[in-house]
């Protein structure tokens, strides 16, 4: 919670009450005035040097000379507050407000005490009083309501300020926090409906209402709002988010593609929503493969996305579905921009293997071995490919060269021995074939 800071100056305030002057002789008045001013200015000097105890002693002398002077109590409050003597500080500020209820700075002092002691409940009525002096304190009141979990009051005040002062990032964060609780969503929906009626060209209200309906699984109402938004603001990108979902659910592929092609390049729409749209379209293409080209085009919008490697993730999606050919396409696409991603290199190698594309596996793994000569998995895939292509001599040489790079990977070592056994079997060396198959079996028993 950030507190509004104000600096108060007391201008033109008389140090000496009229009643005292009326009862005293001129020389007495001068003496009292001199003593008061000397002690008062001494207190200011000591406070400036952070000698608060000495400042308080001087102010107590001022108090004995002028017990009805509000300035003395205000200064006492400030010195006690600087010492973190909160009770004494509050008592002096409160005394000022009783003497002069319109003294805003004394109310600020009382607020300072409650703020520094984190007594936010007690701070609320003080800030409500300060709002009478300056409406800016409504921002503080929102934070106080949040800290005291009075979310209904906070939400009402946020909506009021959004209308009168415009939205702020801080208030929008508070609002999002409140609306995570479903019990506050009903009143907010009503508020947004009212706002849309009053301001039909304000896009943000439609967007917020669409999200609330979507979060509460009221998809039909979300769609109604999206259609209303599209009607009122035909250029709105946000309207397409709900329309896209509607078209997907109704197997309207062409319309879904049109909406998606507005959403993905939009600078207004959050990246998380774009990823969700792409994922939904990916699932859609699984049963509607005629839209694969549109999917490929959509992925292009994410080429510069450093947080999520979209083509790679789609490759993994297809690989999990055992759709090796599509997985290969998207792993290749990813590697065109991230050629040194070893995880993807190995995933693509496995897909070539599962798809029985051994000629491509042999060429690909050979190219990668030139770039990464100490990666044993590449030697394994190259040996496997050459075995399948009946190039047994080349397979044997590659596998024997690569097995020395295997460290603490028993599964890979087993596979190397199996492929070496296959290579020697192809070469007709039965003795070595049995040797490597036996090694593989022994390792399997130890797993």
For the domain that residue 421 is a member of, what is the CATH number? 1.25.40.10
In a domain, 295, yes or no: no
In a domain, 338, yes or no: no
pLDDT in tens, 404-447: 999 989 999 999 999 999 999 999 999 999 999 999 999 888 76
In a domain, 156, yes or no: no
Q: Which of 147, 158, 163, 218 lies closest to 188, judged by CA?
A: 158
Residue ending a domain, among 113, 133, 153, is 133
**pTM of the model as a whole:** 0.56
In a domain, 436, yes or no: yes
Phi and psi, residue 143, nearest 5°:
-65, -40
In a domain, 189, yes or no: no
In a domain, 127, yes or no: yes
Residue ending a domain, among 112, 133, 154, is 133
Residue ending a domain, among 99, 133, 167, is 133
* Contact between 208 and 193 (Cβ < 8 Å): no
Q: Which of 404, 443, 397 lies closest to 420, judged by CA?
A: 397
Q: Output 344 or 336, whichever has higher pLDDT.
A: 344
For the four alpha carbons of 291, 296, 300 and 301, in that order, the dihedral sign comes to: positive
In a domain, 34, yes or no: yes
pLDDT in tens, 17-70: 433 333 444 444 455 578 999 999 999 999 999 999 999 999 999 999 999 999
Q: Output 302 or 93, whichever has higher pLDDT.
A: 93
Q: Would you say residue 172 has pLDDT above 90?
A: no
Number of independent structural domains in the chain:
2
Going by the DSSP 8-state scheme, the letter that residue 291 receives in this structure is: G
The shares of helix, strand and coil residues in the chain, as percent rounded to the nearest 5, are: 75, 0, 25
Phi and psi, residue 322, nearest 5°:
60, 30
Average pLDDT over residues 369-394: 96
Number of Cβ within 10 Å of residue 10's Cβ equals 11
Longest dimension (CA), the chain: 131
pLDDT in tens, 2-32: 465 443 333 333 333 433 333 444 444 455 5
* Contact between 340 and 376 (Cβ < 8 Å): no
* Contact between 423 and 399 (Cβ < 8 Å): yes
Average pLDDT of the chain to the nearest whole number: 89
Q: Looking at residue 278, what is its pLDDT?
A: 92
Residue ranges making up the domain that contains 1: 1-133
In a domain, 206, yes or no: no
Q: Output 272 or 120, whichever has higher pLDDT.
A: 120
Going by the DSSP 8-state scheme, the letter that residue 209 receives in this structure is: H
């Amino acid at each position: 919670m950030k507190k509004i800071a104000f600096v108060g100056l007391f201008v033109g305030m008389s140090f000496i009450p009229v009643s005292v002057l009326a009862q005293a002789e001129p020389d007495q008045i001068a003496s009292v005035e001199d003593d008061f001013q000397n002690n008062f200015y001494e207190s200011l000097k000591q406070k400036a040097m952070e000698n608060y105890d000495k400042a308080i002693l001087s102010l107590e002398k001022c108090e004995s000379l002028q017990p009805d002077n509000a300035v003395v109590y205000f200064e006492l409050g400030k010195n006690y507050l600087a010492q973190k003597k909160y009770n004494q500080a509050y008592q002096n500020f409160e005394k000022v407000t009783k003497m002069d209820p319109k003294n805003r700075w004394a109310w600020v002092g009382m607020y300072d005490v409650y703020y520094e002691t984190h007594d936010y409940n007690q701070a609320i009525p003080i800030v409500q009083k300060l709002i009478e002096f300056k409406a800016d304190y409504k921002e503080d009141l929102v934070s106080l309501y949040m800290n005291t979990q009075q979310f209904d009051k906070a939400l009402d005040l946020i909506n009021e300020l959004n209308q009168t002062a415009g939205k702020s990032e801080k208030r929008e964060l508070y609002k999002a926090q409140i609306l995570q609780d479903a019990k506050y969503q009903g009143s907010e929906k009503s508020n947004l409906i009212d706002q849309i009626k009053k301001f039909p060209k304000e896009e943000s209200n439609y967007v917020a209402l669409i999200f609330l309906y979507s979060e509460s699984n009221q998809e039909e109402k979300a769609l109604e709002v999206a259609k209303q938004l599209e009607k009122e603001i035909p250029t709105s990108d946000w309207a397409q988010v709900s329309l896209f979902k509607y078209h997907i659910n109704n197997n309207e592929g062409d319309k879904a593609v049109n909406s998606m092609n507005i959403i993905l390049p939009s600078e207004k729409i959050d990246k998380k929503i774009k990823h969700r749209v792409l994922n939904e379209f990916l699932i859609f293409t699984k049963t509607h493969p005629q839209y694969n080209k549109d999917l490929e085009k959509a992925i292009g919008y994410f080429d510069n996305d450093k947080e999520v490697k979209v083509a790679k993730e789609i490759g993994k999606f297809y690989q999990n579905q055992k759709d090796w050919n599509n997985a290969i396409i998207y792993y290749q696409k990813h590697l065109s921009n991230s050629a040194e991603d070893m995880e993807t290199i190995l995933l693509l190698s496995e897909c070539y293997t599962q798809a029985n594309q051994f000629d491509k596996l042999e060429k690909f793994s050979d190219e990668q071995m030139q770039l990464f000569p100490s990666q044993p998995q590449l030697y394994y895939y190259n040996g496997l490919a050459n075995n399948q292509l009946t190039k047994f001599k080349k397979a044997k040489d590659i596998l024997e060269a690569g097995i020395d790079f295997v460290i603490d990977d028993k599964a890979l070592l087993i596979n190397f021995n199996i492929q070496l056994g296959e290579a020697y079997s192809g070469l007709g060396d039965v003795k070595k074939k049995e040797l490597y198959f036996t090694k593989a079996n022994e390792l399997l028993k130890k797993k």
